Amino acid sequence: MSGLPSNEDLEDIVEDVVEDVVEDYYDDCSNLHDDPATEALQALHQQFESFIHLYNIAPRSFSNMLKTPFRDSRFKGADWLNELFLGHHQCFYDALGVEKHIFFLLCQKIIETGAYVEHQQTKVSIEESLGIFLHTIGMHERHHNAAERFQRSPETISRHVHIVVEALCRMAPDYITPPDFSVVPDFIENNNQLYPFFKDCVGAIDGTIIPAWVPSLKHGTYRSRKGTLAQNVLAACDFNLNFTFILPGWEGSANDSRVFAEALSVPEYNFPWPPQGKYYVVDSGFSNFPGFLSPYRGERYHIPEWVGANRNPSSMKELFNRRHAIVRNVIERCFSSLKQRFAIIKGLMPNYKLSTQADIVIACCVVHNFVRRHSLFDEIFQSVADPDYVPQPEEGTSTQPLRRQMNHTDDGLMEQSLLRDSIAASLWQNTHFRRPSNSA
């Protein structure tokens, strides 16, 4: 093949031939203009049309004769990663979404799970495999774009995304763990607006909608209240921005009460129930029953409602809601940081199997907790450090909570209602008699 001309050379040859034929054609036409119907002119016109056709199909024809190499760049995926390793830390973070030392720690942990060894490919290192996952899932790259970036086939990209997802899901029991119920969280204890009033709070619970890809026959069941195809995800977190429970994979149209009830009642989900006297904070869509403390309905609640001239609570219930919103906002900060790090969580989901889409959510939460555990100054976590942080609203998002009705005993509901009233009265008394009114 080395003796054949290149595609470009062949195209140049055709262009030269066509130019000569066109020039001869017009010369001959000028000589035969007195008798345009002659057989000579017709033959010349036929020859001209043949060359024009050859010229139009030449690039495609010669490309078929001479196979053009595909993904033959000398700058392979391993070279790109090596350049990132040796380069500025911000370039590394922007490309993969984690710091350098986190990347290498995560490589080591993935090897320890055994998932990478079971699927080990001699041509793809663990570093490149993790890089493929972080770049594809974190940057929401199409597999064909990632294939060009790493100079691998789309099949290889897909395979290594699945390998890393499997490994991260194996790590979930070690990194998505219940909170320590025996201690008062530092977030509560070190804030005199919250302590001792919320000293028995162990975390926050809420749900979120994450995009999903489903076959057309299932569009109806996965159509969320926002009108998009999605999976319904329920999560709990502690006050250090760690996910302590995650339940993905429910249909976007599934009633939230059903997801919540299943999470609490199915033993296989291992929901971290709080001990007697402890509770999670939830929004006003949840019932106020033992183990779950919700705000007062019909009163101001969401953080943006407390901005401006009317920022001060005017009643005991408003004051409770204001402080409750600060406590519960930790789950919003968790969701926001997760979606900042992994664009696939808020973008269009590729056509993975439904089970894989649920596993991707778990894998992202594992990386989220891993980074939180091993990095003190992660850029994304720093951006949500403010307790009053308000996430940017997503398209179609409603700030109104959905009612998640569940059946509870009258005694349980009364007990939790009395607890809420007691906390509200203590807050109001403490603020009204000991602090200026603008300190709420």
Q: What secondary structure does DSSP assign to 16-69, as a single string?
A: HHHHHHHHHHHHHHHHSTT-TTSHHHHHHHHHHHHHHHHHHHHHHHHHHHSPPP
- Judgement on whether residues 318 and 202 belong to the same structural domain of the protein: yes
**In this structure, are residues 407 and 261 in contact, taking their beta carbons and an 8 Å threshold?**
no
Radius of gyration, CA atoms only, the chain: 32
Distances from the Cα of 99 to the Cαs of 86, 105, 135, 179, 355, in angstroms? 13, 10, 13, 26, 29
- Does 206 share its domain with 339? yes
Structure tokens belonging to residue 167: 């490994």
Alpha-carbon distance of 108 to 317, in angstroms, equals 50
SS3 track for 135-151: HHHHCCCCHHHHHHHHC
Tokens of 241: 């921005």
Out of 153, 175, 197, a domain closes at 175
Asked if residue 232 belongs to a domain, the reply is: yes
Tell me, what's the pLDDT at 35?
Answer: 55
- Tokens linked to 324: 């409750």
With contact defined as beta carbons under 8 Å apart, do 337 and 371 qualify? no
Describe the crossing of helices 316-341 and 410-434 by its angle, rounded to 10 degrees.
100
Residue 69 pLDDT: 65
Record the tokens describing residue 189, joined without a space: 């204890």
| Bridging pattern class, strands 292-293 and 243-251 | unpaired
Q: Which amino acid is at 191?
A: N
Boundary-marking domain end, from 133, 156, 175:
175
Residues 195, 215 within the same domain: yes
Q: Give the relative orientation of helices 77-86 and 143-150 as an angle to the nearest 10 degrees.
A: 70
Residues 232 and 136 in one domain: no
Assigned domain for 34 exists? no
Instruction: Give the structural domain span for 24.
Output: 1-28+46-57
Chain centroid to CA 307 = 30
Do 294 and 405 sit in the same domain of this protein? yes
Q: Which of 417, 383, 388, 389 is nearest to 193 (CA)?
A: 388
Residue 292: its H or E element: strand 292-293
In a shared domain, residues 362 and 294: yes
67 in a structural domain: no
**Do both 210 and 264 map to the same domain?**
yes
What is the helix (H) or strand (E) element at residue 80, kind and residue range? Answer: helix 77-86
The residue out of 175, 207, 223 marking a domain boundary is: 175
- The Cα–Cα gap between 357 and 230 comes to 10
Structural domain contains residue 40: no
Number of domains the chain is built from: 3
Pair 94, 217 in one domain: no
Q: Is 10 in the same domain as 140?
A: no
CA atoms within a 13 Å half-sphere pointing along the CA-CB vector of 147: 14
Contact 281, 328 (CB under 8 A): yes
Long-range contacts of 374-383 (CB under 8 A, 24+ apart): 374/101, 374/102, 374/105, 375/98, 375/99, 375/101, 375/102, 378/98, 378/99, 378/102, 379/93, 380/97, 380/337, 380/340, 380/341, 381/241, 381/337, 383/337, 383/340
Residue 391 lies in a domain: yes
CA distance 204 to 208: 13
- Bridge partners of 244? none
Q: Are residues 166 and 204 in the same domain?
A: no
Nearest residue to 163 via CA among 8, 407, 363: 363
The Cα–Cα gap between 178 and 117 comes to 29
Report the side by side order of strands in the sheet with 243-251.
Answer: 243-251, 230-237, 201-211, 279-281, 292-293
Q: Determine the pLDDT at residue 335.
A: 96
Answer yes or no: do 427 and 304 share one domain: yes
Three-state SS at 305: helix
Asked if residue 70 is part of any domain, the answer here is no
Q: Tell me the HSE value of 267 on the side-chain side, using a 13 A CA sphere.
A: 0
What's the CA gap between 196 and 286, in Å, rounded? 24
Q: What is the DSSP letter of 377?
A: S
In a domain, 68, yes or no: no
Q: Is residue 297 part of a domain?
A: yes
Please tell me the predicted confidence (pLDDT) of residue 403. Answer: 43
Ordered per-residue pLDDT tens for the chain, 440 residues: 455 555 566 556 656 665 666 566 566 555 555 554 556 666 666 766 666 666 565 555 555 555 566 666 778 889 999 999 999 999 999 999 999 999 999 999 999 988 777 776 557 899 999 999 999 999 888 888 899 999 999 999 999 999 999 999 999 999 999 999 999 999 999 999 999 999 999 999 999 999 999 998 899 999 988 888 999 999 999 999 999 999 999 998 887 667 888 899 899 999 999 999 999 999 887 888 899 999 998 888 888 888 766 678 889 999 999 999 999 999 999 999 999 999 998 888 888 999 999 999 999 999 999 999 999 899 999 999 998 888 876 543 444 444 444 445 667 778 888 889 899 999 988 876 555 544 55
pLDDT at 41: 60
Residues contacting residue 201 through CB under 8 Å, at least 6 positions apart: 185, 188, 278, 279, 280, 281, 293, 327
Please answer whether residues 355 and 250 qualify as being in contact, where contact means their C-beta atoms are separated by less than 8 angstroms: no
Residues 363 and 242 in one domain: yes
